Amino acid sequence: MGVRGIRGATTVNENRSEEILKATSELMEEIIRENDFQADDVASVLVTVTTDLNADFPAKAIRALQGWELVPLMCSTEIPVPGSLPRCIRLMLLVNTDVGADQVRHVFLGEAVKLRPDLTKTGGSM
């Protein structure tokens, strides 16, 4: 067994707590569904947001998921590169798995599908 990184990103329309938490929860649920793992398999989750999102901590939505209470979570802001995608939430999960790198299914939802079109299929995941 080794550790694999699973990427995900999504966007929100407004800097509102409800939108941030809902979008983060939807993204996490899709990543879990696409990659079939349990919270106990996760070493840690890094969550970043663009500087225009500060209404709430996205990690709060992950912590609220059943069984995720003990998973280490860290929130940070993205580098504010001019012209970058606004109102974006990104996740990097480090997961203990036997799955090969070519079998990991990264998930990009909303406007975030623009970030990695090479990894995005219809429905937002690879």
Could you tell me which residues are annotated as the binding site for prephenate?
7, 90
| Contact in structure between 87 and 10 (CB atoms under 8 Å) | no
Q: How far apart are CA 68 and CA 115, in angstroms?
A: 27
Q: How far apart are CA 101 and CA 99, in angstroms?
A: 7
CA distances from 76 to 56, 70, 73 (A): 12, 19, 10
Q: Which residues are annotated as a binding site?
A: 7, 90
Look at residues 72, 99, 71 and name the one whose alpha carbon lies nearest to residue 1. 99
